[in-house]
Amino acid sequence: MRQTGTRSKDEDMLNRMLTIEIARVTEAAAIAAATMRGRGDEKQADQLAVDAMRTALNDIDMDGKVVIGEGERDEAPMLYIGEKVGTGNGPRIDIALDPLEGTTLCAKAMPDSLAVIAMAVGGSLLHAPDSYMSKIAIGPGYPAGTIDLDASPEDNLNALAKAKGVAANQLTACILDRPRHAELIAAVRATGAGVRLISDGDIAGVIHTTDPDNTGIDIYMGVGGAPEGVLAAAALRCIGGQMQGRLVFHKATDRDRALKMGVEDPDAKFDMNEMASGDVMFAASGVTDGSMLAGVKFGKSHITTETVVMRSATGTVRWIKNRRKVA
């Protein structure tokens, strides 16, 4: 269901209620995960984040449904795809979440681990299965159609360089450091462009393209998680940019699952407006220090968090630094 025309009652409620509530949700997950920062236990860090996020969501007056979550119902005990959250009273809301984006980053106390969530009026987010997605993304300020998922890395980099008014060798692409990307990395470097490899955290990688002057990243390319793709698209809807994605299936059962979840054409190329339509809100809180957000700080008497909250309808980006007393 696409949201068109005049603003709905649910959209008005989304504005009034969730701007603050959504920040509290990611803050709770970030604080819980940060207690395991650098301790080498990815599963425990993730579980603590899941528990905290679920508790915070269930305190909100909304009829929420997890459409991007921790996995299928038989694989995830909490925040599974299809789980209902909230009090049941209030607007119907679709929720995409990653309670701990970059579990390895948290376990190793490396930069850019985040707690992430997106909310939209029911029916607005792509119900992507827990599979892979081929992605390409750039920040705002370029002509529509500058990038194309079906074009070669060389063509995309040359098009971006032309739009930016620089040579291709002045661009930097962000790519997940995986064996599957060996040919992509070689193709990017063959143009003279640089490559920044990241071990995890491709939501942050996509968002970094929106501020290349500070992050040094001009374009994101490669295959990562489909759920993370929808979350990244939600963020770009709020702050601007271009993004395309296509589901990648390694097993026939993955394709069947996509069809079952309502994806009409599993081979379709989705742009960000198809992955996250209507009025979208996005929030992320830092777990570890990163180029976008500071991580959780545990003081003697206070806990400090940093959160960014964005909304597509207004283009508003709020940076929230919260300091709470230790219970």
pLDDT at 260: 86
pLDDT at 74: 59
User: How deeply is 28 buried, as exposed, middle or buried, from its count of CB atoms within 10 A (0-12, 13-18, 19+)?
Assistant: buried
User: What whole-number distance in Å separates Cα of residue 299 and Cα of residue 86?
Assistant: 31
Domain housing 77:
9-125+280-325
pTM surpassing 0.85? yes
**Sign of the CA dihedral 225, 316, 3, 211?**
negative
Domain for residue 107, yes or no? Answer: yes
Domain for residue 28, yes or no? Answer: yes
pLDDT band (50, 70, 90) for residue 1 = very low
If asked whether residues 119 and 196 sit together in one domain, one would say: no
* Domain total in the chain: 2
Percent of the chain with pLDDT over 90: 77
If asked whether residues 113 and 39 sit together in one domain, one would say: yes
How does the average pLDDT of the chain come out, rounded? 92
pLDDT at 6: 45
pLDDT at 253: 84
pLDDT band (50, 70, 90) for residue 230 = very high
The residue type at 188: V
If asked whether residues 147 and 214 sit together in one domain, one would say: yes
The mean per-residue pLDDT over the stretch 297-310 comes to 96
pLDDT in tens, 79-92: 998 999 999 998 89
Among 236, 260, 275, the domain boundary falls at 275
pLDDT at residue 3 above 80?
no
pLDDT at residue 4 above 50?
no
Reading the block at residue 190, the tokens are 């063959």
CA distances 254 to 229, 250, 251, 262, 272, Å, are 16, 7, 5, 13, 22
If asked whether residues 100 and 221 sit together in one domain, one would say: no
The mean per-residue pLDDT over the stretch 35-64 comes to 96
pLDDT at residue 8 above 60?
no
pLDDT at 146: 98
User: What whole-number distance in Å separates Cα of residue 220 and Cα of residue 304?
Assistant: 30
CATH of the domain at 153: 3.40.190.90
If asked whether residues 312 and 261 sit together in one domain, one would say: no
User: What whole-number distance in Å separates Cα of residue 97 and Cα of residue 86?
Assistant: 14
Q: Are strands 219-225 and 172-176 parallel, antiparallel or unpaired?
A: parallel
CATH of the domain at 116: 3.30.540.10
Share of the chain residues as helix, strand and coil, in percent rounded to the nearest 5: 35, 30, 40
If asked whether residues 148 and 171 sit together in one domain, one would say: yes
The mean per-residue pLDDT over the stretch 21-33 comes to 97
Residues in the chain: 327
Residue that wins the pLDDT comparison between 258 and 17: 258
pLDDT at residue 44 above 50?
yes
pLDDT at 73: 62
Percent of the chain with pLDDT over 70: 93
